[in-house]
Amino acid sequence: MSRASDHAYDELRRRILSGELPPGTQLKEEELATLCGVSRTPVREAIRRLEADLFVRRTDSQRSFVEEWTLDDIEEVFILRGMLEGYAARRAALRAEPQHIARLEETNRALHAVLSADDLDVDAYLKTNADFHSLILEIAASERLASLLSRMVLQPVVQQTAMAYSREQLWRSFDEHAGITAAFAARDPDWAEALMVAHIRRSLHARLKPLT
């Protein structure tokens, strides 16, 4: 892929995740080329990649739209994510070494610092939260699992969930991270998996609540 195509892809994905390009928006190549500061060809390539990543759907008439999500779609994504991340936690609990536990604890301390600040930096929270989950995948040591999960975690309905959390909900998520870390330290795969599935399940209900 060209650098221009990568730029267009990153820019359009960012705007979809932020809601600047809301669900149902038609993606017109000429307008997007101007928006991204590139020609139409890189935009066309970027739209194909976004379609493959389930951010965009193409109609029978070959028009492209930002994907719209039904309640069933949202629930399915979170259920699949829970299954995959639960399995990742199980694998990680059996493989975690003291240095891994130390890194998870360090990440949790960083989350605590973000949440304790007077002004909540949501971007910093999202990044540190992603670091925690990425570290679990690293410990689980499965490229197939990492590839499958990346498609789930990067879906707009997942990314936008934490953005809508209250500080109280973020603290609850932090406490769950601490519990998962404790399960790893105890090398208890059943406990780790159960906590992770519950963690993702709570995220699902937080995402569904404003929609029902």
Return the CATH architecture of domain 71-211. Answer: Up-down Bundle (1.20)
Give the model confidence (pLDDT) of 90-105 as tens digits.
999 999 999 999 999 9
Residue 211 pLDDT level (bands cut at 50, 70, 90): low
Measuring CA to CA, which residue among 78, 84, 58 is closest to residue 159?
Answer: 78
Calculate the alpha carbon distances from 119 to 51, 114, 146 in Å: 36, 9, 33
Measuring CA to CA, which residue among 103, 154, 97 is closest to residue 131?
Answer: 103
Give the model confidence (pLDDT) of 107-151 as tens digits.
999 999 999 999 988 889 888 998 999 999 999 999 999 988 887
Query: Torsion over CA of 15, 78, 167 and 138, rounded to 10 degrees?
Result: -90
How far apart are the C-alpha atoms of 147 and 144, rounded to whole Å?
5
CATH number of 3-66: 1.10.10.10
pLDDT over 60 at 9, yes or no = yes
- Quickly count: other Cβ atoms within 10 Å of residue 8's Cβ: 30
How far apart are the C-alpha atoms of 65 and 207, rounded to whole Å?
22
Q: Look up residue 104 and give its two tokens.
A: 């998870």
Measuring CA to CA, which residue among 2, 27, 1 is closest to residue 15?
Answer: 27
Give the model confidence (pLDDT) of 51-93 as tens digits.
988 889 999 888 999 988 888 888 888 899 999 999 999 999 9
Measuring CA to CA, which residue among 206, 163, 130, 117 is closest to residue 17?
Answer: 163
How far apart are the C-alpha atoms of 7 and 96, rounded to whole Å?
37
Give the model confidence (pLDDT) of 30-43 as tens digits.
999 999 999 999 99
Q: Where are the domains of the chain?
A: 3-66, 71-211
Handedness of CA 14, 7, 67, 88 (dihedral sign): negative
Give the model confidence (pLDDT) of 146-195 as tens digits.
988 887 777 777 766 766 678 888 999 999 999 999 999 999 999 999 99
